[in-house]
Structure 1
Amino acid sequence: MSLDPDDPRPPYKQVANALRAAILTKTFEPGEKLPSGTELAAIYGVARMTVQQAIRLLRDEGLVVSRQGSGVFVRERTERPVELRPHLERAFEQGDVSLDFAGFSGETLAGVLQEPLDKVRIGRLTPDSISLRILIPDMEQPMLLPRLADGLADESGIRQRTRRILRRSIQLVTDSVHELADLGLVRNASVEVRAYAATPFFKLYVINHEQVFFGFYPVVRHTARLDGERKELYDVMGRDTVLFHHSLTDDPSSTSSQYVSQARAWFESVWTTISHEVDF
């Protein structure tokens, strides 16, 4: 099981990829203890430090857990929600960064992108290109949500409020990405935004064509100020969305690989058919 000398990835990433595939395909079952660091080093023909780096990567992804004095174990539920931010930041370590996002307002998108973009600005991350595609609802059209809680009536003032929030988030992302190109910190930077006439009930991130984060928006009742008056609304709430992670493995027939493939296909189908370009 020695590593491929022609693989351009660092050895620790190759080891992490092999272990990740074994975990996601249930070669290592949930709750099972992984071989020791010494054993893994011998299996892959690497130093123990390399194995430790690989395990740290898998721990950050939520796939394994270290138990002091006992070893490293596969999490009982490998499909548990994991943190998006470290995965996104690692994507910016690559030469070409690609991110497709589908969601409601883009507020959380702007939040998770700020740190890696700041690190590009100060030179800690050095991608060659950044490409973003953002798919959002068309707030010019009547929407199922948000709506007045009383009678579920559509009101233009609600859509105008949501449009302001959306515009602020997307402009922040667009300006931050384009600034990196204007400063000469990346060779190419592009942000494309398209809208479609539907209320999103989930958010989706596709990172570098190989990782997917997906989560459902809960529908909540809350109070908002419209035209100076406080009103009760039913709305989707992105901050309460739990994201689940899927990534490509060496086995294209694995559940995780198929999920990534289908998520990419869904995004592409909406992007190229029923959506239209929006200028921010």
Structure 2
Amino acid sequence: MMSLDPDDPRPPYQQVANALRAAILTKKLQPGEKLPSGTELAKKYGVARMTVQQAIRVLRDENLVVSRQGSGVFVRERTERPVELRPHVEQAFEEANVTLDFAGFSGETLNGMLQEPLDKIRIGRLRPESIAIRILVPDMTQPLALPRRVEDLQDDPAIRERANRIMRRSVGAIADAVHELGDLGLVKTTSVEVRAHQAAPTFKLYIINRGQVFFGFYPVVKHTVRIKGEPHELYDVMGKDAVLFHYSITEDQDSTSSQFVAQSQDWFDSVWSSISREVEL
């Protein structure tokens, strides 16, 4: 047992919070690592479980840890790049009912991330009962603020058509792969819905099983693409350069993380049911 300093004037919960904070900041507790249970921490520091809960609340408010219902308390993974999102998407497919809402530019990265969990379903390693995916993308049949020609910042239908082809190829592949699992009887219920809206893509958003959110801004970059053999210089969004921030619903519904997940879901649902239109695949 690591007894607290009786001469320390700070309340016991602050001392416990300070000890855990130091372990996190010095990487003795690694990002993503699960903390010992409340009972174990109470025994370790010689305090009541209520004191440990108060300490965890302090660390949660500082965005150092995240509480996951039914799983425990984990050191927060402060920021995640797209490649690190993959394990969270794959883990979501271990649930009986999988939901995934995506808002972004084309769904190209999402398509790549779904391949491994869908393959695991095909070989029987994962057995979800239902999969429901909703995808919100910009309507590239209409002029938008992005992408744009560099030379005069004007809309270019050829550039939009290229972006539209990328989007339809990506989301079409997702729909085909998911519906195939249903046709084969490997998943009881499958659905993939795609809707488009006329807002320029400025961020990407993943909502996983209505409990986790990954959010990141698209940087605007200048690059050159070839369309029918001709180079076109354009300002475009670059998904692979977007840093994603991770939020999870915690036991504290008033925490910043819980509220961000709830507000993200509300935003998605509101756009989905109001200014977007169905995309026929």
TMscore range, shorter length: 0.7 to 0.9
Q: Is the 8 A contact 1:129 1:187 kept in 2?
A: yes
Matching residue of 1:244: 245
Task: Provide closer, same or farther for how the CA distance between residues 28 and 264 of structure 1 changes in structure 2, counting only shifts above 3 A.
Answer: farther
CA offset digits 1:243-272 (Å, max 9, x no partner): 111000000011110110110011011001
- Aligned pairs for 1:164-183 (under 5 A) are 164-183=165-184
- Aligned pairs for 1:28-177 (under 5 A) are 28-29=20-21, 30-31=24-25, 40=37, 43=40, 78-81=77-80, 83-177=84-178
Looking at structure 2, the residues matched to 172 and 125 of structure 1 have their Cα atoms a distance apart, in angstroms, of 20
Looking at structure 2, the residues matched to 121 and 223 of structure 1 have their Cα atoms a distance apart, in angstroms, of 39
Gaps of 5+ in 1: 1-24, 46-62, 65-73
**1:239: Cα distance to partner?**
1.3
Runs of 4+ in structure 1 off by over 4 angstroms are: 25-28, 37-42
Looking at structure 2, the residues matched to 145 and 169 of structure 1 have their Cα atoms a distance apart, in angstroms, of 19
Task: Provide closer, same or farther for how the CA distance between residues 139 and 27 of structure 1 changes in structure 2, counting only shifts above 3 A.
Answer: farther
Identity percentage over the alignment? 59
Task: Provide closer, same or farther for how the CA distance between residues 39 and 149 of structure 1 changes in structure 2, counting only shifts above 3 A.
Answer: closer
Task: Provide closer, same or farther for how the CA distance between residues 143 and 95 of structure 1 changes in structure 2, counting only shifts above 3 A.
Answer: same
Task: Provide closer, same or farther for how the CA distance between residues 27 and 209 of structure 1 changes in structure 2, counting only shifts above 3 A.
Answer: farther
Gaps of 5+ in 2: 1-16, 43-63, 66-73
Number of aligned residue pairs:
227
**1:43: Cα distance to partner?**
2.5
Secondary structure of 1:184's match?
Answer: coil
CA offset digits 1:117-141 (Å, max 9, x no partner): 1111111111000000000000111
Secondary structure of 1:169's match?
Answer: helix
Secondary structure of 2:175's match?
Answer: helix
Q: Is the 8 A contact 2:207 2:265 kept in 1?
A: yes
Q: Is the 8 A contact 2:77 2:246 kept in 1?
A: no
Instruction: State the TM-score, normalized to the length of structure 1.
Output: 0.75
Which structure would you say has the larger Rg? 2
Task: Provide closer, same or farther for how the CA distance between residues 26 and 248 of structure 1 changes in structure 2, counting only shifts above 3 A.
Answer: farther
CA offset digits 1:156-186 (Å, max 9, x no partner): 1011111111111011100000000011000
Task: Provide closer, same or farther for how the CA distance between residues 216 and 187 of structure 1 changes in structure 2, counting only shifts above 3 A.
Answer: same
**1:44: Cα distance to partner?**
8.5
Name the amino acid aligned to 1:253: D
**1:81: Cα distance to partner?**
2.1
Secondary structure of 2:25's match?
Answer: coil
Looking at structure 2, the residues matched to 38 and 274 of structure 1 have their Cα atoms a distance apart, in angstroms, of 43
Looking at structure 2, the residues matched to 186 and 134 of structure 1 have their Cα atoms a distance apart, in angstroms, of 20
